[in-house]
């Protein structure tokens, strides 16, 4: 997994609507919380996405943006986003190209570990966490990112 201080690789992936979305485009609106998750509609991933949804106003108020990445299709992401009223983009990485770039591919290429990055506008990773089955650690990480950004320390 990439770590704090490393440069975040540029990428472009389709979002839930099939629109190409690049890292630079996401960062044009401010620092980014980029999270990788195993699959749409699974209990843990649903809990994580809904927690980020519920905290989304604070994320925006701190000047941050958020986007999720998983290997499901744009159609799956669209259904998942609609069902749970998620206000942030979900990016489809069916070939795991970006997942591999960020070194969050599962053992032997199976699955995707749960990983979250805070990336500043110069594409430097400021914070990172991987905690596969511990959703609460990701929630705490997002809250920490908001607190850091709200304090003016991107």
Active-site choice (45, 64, 86, 146): 45
Closest by CA position to 119, among listed 140, 97, 149: 149
Sign of CA dihedral 41, 38, 14, 123: positive
Does the active-site annotation cover 50? Answer: no
For residues 57 and 93, is the Cβ–Cβ distance under 8 A? no
The 10 Å Cβ neighbour count of residue 83 is: 11
Residues annotated as catalytic are: 45
């Amino acid at each position: 997994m990439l770590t704090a201080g490393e440069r975040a690789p540029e990428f472009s992936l389709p979002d839930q609507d099939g629109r190409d979305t690049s890292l630079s485009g996401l960062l044009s609106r401010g620092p980014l919380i980029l999270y990788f998750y195993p699959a749409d509609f699974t209990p843990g991933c649903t809990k994580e996405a809904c927690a980020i949804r519920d905290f989304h106003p604070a994320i925006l108020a701190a000047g941050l943006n958020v986007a999720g990445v998983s290997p499901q299709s744009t159609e799956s992401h669209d259904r998942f986003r609609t069902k749970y009223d998620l206000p942030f983009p979900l990016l489809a990485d069916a070939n795991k190209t970006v997942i591999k770039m960020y070194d969050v591919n599962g053992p032997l290429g199976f699955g995707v570990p749960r990983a979250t990055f805070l990336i500043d506008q110069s594409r430097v990773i400021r914070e990172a966490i991987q905690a596969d089955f511990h959703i609460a650690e990701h929630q705490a990480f997002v809250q920490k990112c908001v607190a850091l950004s709200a304090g003016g320390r991107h």
